[in-house]
């Protein structure tokens, strides 16, 4: 259910006969422009102000894509870059909680939807956060949408949110290589975009995550590298390290695909506490 001051896109995909990103425009009802052409122009204008777009994906749920996305965005912002955090996980939008906006909503203004602005003394420009969570009546309200609705929301995420000028837009992708990922890669064709893979060490996670890698390679989407998450635990008492998951040869598999392993992140209770 939508927040009373907003309207969730009413679906229809390519056959709906209107512009996807026009849905949150205050002038939509009286606009005389061709909606489809106007939508294309609006999305292109938004994307034209963004430098690098990074899709954080992994196909597998529960490997830490949202955690890596949030920390990547915060890390870039701490280095003085202008950063946006786009939450494309329609069924499980978590970025509102990571940045302290759980339960908050946004309204339409003259420029569309204003992302929440996360500020911190360590972040020169702050950090802009856009998520479907800001349009839900309650944090635990399920989003039960068919693909046409998802198709529309991806356009809204890129075109209706007023991202402004950014050096980086980090996109937290949902699990899977389906509608959301296909729609977004179609929409971002021609942009400066790359994928960051996230997986955990065990074979069952790698089996799914490497499918996302193959999607990128077959689609021609540049892969920046892979983050191996939950790669061991450091004991808080003796500082000794041990592994929860058996080694399943991730390094060799990534090498075979021509993908670099950029980092190995251990399980850390401080990250879990900070995220919640």
225-269 residue pLDDT tens: 999 999 888 887 888 888 888 777 788 888 899 999 999 998 888
Residue 275 CB coordination number (10 Å): 14
Residue 147 has pLDDT above 50, yes or no: yes
> Residue 108 is part of which domain span?
13-197
Report yes or no on 264 lying in a domain: no
pLDDT band with cut points at 50, 70 and 90 for residue 20: low
DSSP 126-194: -EEEEEGGGGBSSTT------HHHHHHHHHHHHHTB---SEEEEEEEPPSSSSHHHHHHHHHTTTS-EE
What does the pLDDT read at residue 35? Answer: 65
Give dist(CA 149, CA 144) in Å, integer: 9
128 pLDDT above the threshold of 80: yes
Whether 202 is in a domain gets the answer no
What is the crossing angle of helices 203-219 and 250-257, to 10°? Answer: 10
* Cβ(130)–Cβ(86) below 8 Å: yes
Q: How many structural domains compose the chain?
A: 1
Encoded tokens for 194 = 């790359």
Q: How many CB atoms lie within 10 A of CB 140?
A: 6
Q: Tokens at residue 40, please?
A: 């294309």
Residue at 76 is within a domain: yes
pLDDT at position 270 is 82
3-state percent breakdown (helix, strand, coil) of the chain, nearest 5:
35, 20, 45
Phi first, then psi, for residue 43 (nearest 5°) are -60, -45
217 vs 270, higher pLDDT: 217
Strand, coil or helix: 80: coil
pLDDT of residue 108: 82
Tokens of 153: 């929301």
Would residue 222 count as lying in a domain?
A: no
Please give the mean pLDDT across all residues of the chain: 86
* pLDDT-wise least confident of 18-32, 77-91, 157-171: 18-32
User: Quick check: 4 pLDDT over 50?
Assistant: no
CATH number for the domain spanning 149: value is 3.40.50.300
Predicted pLDDT of residue 274: 82
The Cβ-side half-sphere exposure at 214, using a 13 Å CA radius, reads 9
Cα separation of 54 and 236, whole Å?
33
Cβ atoms within 10 A of the Cβ of 77, count? 25
172 belongs to a structural domain: yes
Average pLDDT over residues 153-168: 94
Determine which helix (DSSP H) or strand (DSSP E) holds 209, and give its type and residue range.
helix 203-219
- In the prediction, which pLDDT does 249 show? 77
Encode pLDDT of 87-123 as tens digits.
999 999 999 999 999 999 988 887 889 999 999 999 9
Report yes or no: 149 and 11 within 8 Å, Cβ to Cβ.
yes
Positive or negative, the CA dihedral 184, 190, 192, 197 is positive
pTM, whole model, 2 decimals? 0.87
Q: Establish if 213 belongs to a structural domain.
A: no
For 52, 79, 116, 164, the CA distances from 122, given in Å and listed in that order, are 22, 9, 17, 21
pLDDT score of 2: 40
- Residue 148 placed within a domain: yes
How high is the pLDDT of residue 275?
80
- Terminal-to-terminal C-alpha distance of the chain: 24
- Confirm whether 209 is domain-assigned: no
């Amino acid at each position: 259910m939508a927040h009373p001051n907003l309207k969730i896109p009413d679906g229809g995909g390519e056959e709906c006969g209107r512009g996807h990103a026009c849905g949150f425009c205050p002038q939509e009802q009286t606009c005389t422009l061709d909606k489809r052409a106007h939508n294309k122009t609006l999305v292109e204008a938004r994307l034209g102000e963004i430098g690098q777009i990074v899709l954080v994906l992994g196909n597998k749920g529960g490997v830490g894509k949202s955690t890596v996305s949030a920390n990547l965005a915060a890390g870039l912002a701490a280095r003085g870059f202008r950063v946006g955090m786009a939450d494309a996980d329609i069924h499980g939008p978590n970025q509102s909680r990571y940045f302290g906006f759980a339960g908050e909503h946004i309204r339409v203004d003259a420029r569309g939807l204003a992302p929440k602005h996360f500020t911190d003394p360590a972040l020169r420009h702050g950090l802009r956060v856009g998520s479907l969570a800001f349009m839900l009546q309650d944090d635990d309200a399920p989003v039960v949408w068919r693909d046409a609705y998802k198709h529309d929301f991806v356009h809204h995420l890129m075109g209706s949110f007023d991202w402004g000028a950014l050096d980086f837009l980090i996109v937290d992708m949902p699990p899977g290589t389906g509608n959301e990922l296909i729609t977004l890669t179609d929409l971002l064709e021609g942009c400066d975009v790359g994928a960051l893979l996230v997986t955990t060490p065990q074979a069952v996670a790698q089996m799914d995550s490497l499918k996302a890698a193959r999607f990128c390679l077959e689609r021609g989407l540049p892969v920046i590298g892979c983050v191996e998450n939950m790669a061991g635990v450091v004991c808080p008492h003796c500082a000794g390290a041990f592994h929860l998951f058996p080694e399943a040869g991730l390094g060799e598999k990534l090498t075979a695909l021509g993908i670099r392993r950029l980092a190995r992140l251990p399980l850390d209770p401080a990250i879990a506490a900070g995220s919640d």
